[in-house]
Amino acid sequence: MVSSPLATLAHYLVGEFENQTQAAAEPAWYVHLRLWQVPVPSLSSEHTYTLFLEQASVAASKPPYRQRVLQLTEVADQLRGQYFALAQPLKFQGAGSDASRLADLSTADLVALSNSTAEIRYQPLAGSEYQFQAALPDGQLCSFTYDAQRRYVYLGFDVAPENGTITLLTYDKGVDPDTGRGLWGALMGPFRMIKQKVLKWS
């Protein structure tokens, strides 16, 4: 039975999500995305939950992209989510829908990122349910190198039960560090992802 806030958060986040309703209502601003958040038991423990994340454009029918790893922990009663890049993201492409491809995923495949640890706040709801809010502290931007250029991204999400399922709001967006202008991602507000398929920790 799910009990602790950390275990509840992990339970909420694993699964397959889509923003189909949002994309249909506002197609000029939101692409129809499918997001996979898959358990990685080999990198998880009683107090650490590790998820493999990737997404795909449903309309474009192209291979999944933006492979990354999110590790959830609790330190001194503070929930944290640390994001990692993958040294060889194409090696794990498609693992969102085929978790067997994660069998060889190890800490050696993870690339630490600057300012990539989100603080996660939570508040109880009815019964044993919670609402969670994750954000990088003090307006920090996560940074990484891509195509020989330094890129900056804001990371954050809210997740909670809603109408019998789980709603995940994702705020991730690329940012120009000099002007603060958003470059891609959640430019007009968060992507509203609704859980379509439940996955369980094995």
pLDDT in tens, 86-133: 999 999 999 999 999 999 999 999 999 989 999 999 999 988 899 999
pLDDT the model gives residue 48 = 96
Residue 1 has pLDDT above 50, yes or no: no
Domains, in order of start, for the chain: 5-197 (2.40.128.590)
pLDDT the model gives residue 24 = 96
Whole-number Å distance between alpha carbons of 105 and 75: 24
pLDDT the model gives residue 202 = 65
Smallest CA-to-CA distance from 14 within 116, 96, 98, 76 is with 96
Which residues is 117 bridged to in the sheet? Answer: 82
pLDDT the model gives residue 149 = 77
**CB < 8 Å & 24+ apart, contacts of 37-40:** 37/13, 37/70, 37/96, 37/199, 38/14, 38/95, 38/96, 38/99, 38/102, 38/199, 39/10, 39/14, 39/99, 39/199, 39/200, 39/201, 39/202, 40/69, 40/102, 40/105
Name the DSSP class of 77: T
Residue 196 has pLDDT above 80, yes or no: yes
Whole-number Å distance between alpha carbons of 76 and 53: 26
Q: What is the DSSP string of 112-162?
A: EEEEEEEEEEEEE-STT-EEEEEE-GGG--EEEEETTEEEEEE-EEEEEEE
- pTM for the whole thing? 0.93
Whole-number Å distance between alpha carbons of 47 and 44: 8
pLDDT tens for 37-67 read 999 999 999 899 999 999 999 988 889 999 9
The token duo for 103 is 């069998």
**What does residue 76 show for φ and ψ, rounded to 5 degrees?**
50, 50
Smallest CA-to-CA distance from 81 within 42, 123, 53, 41 is with 53
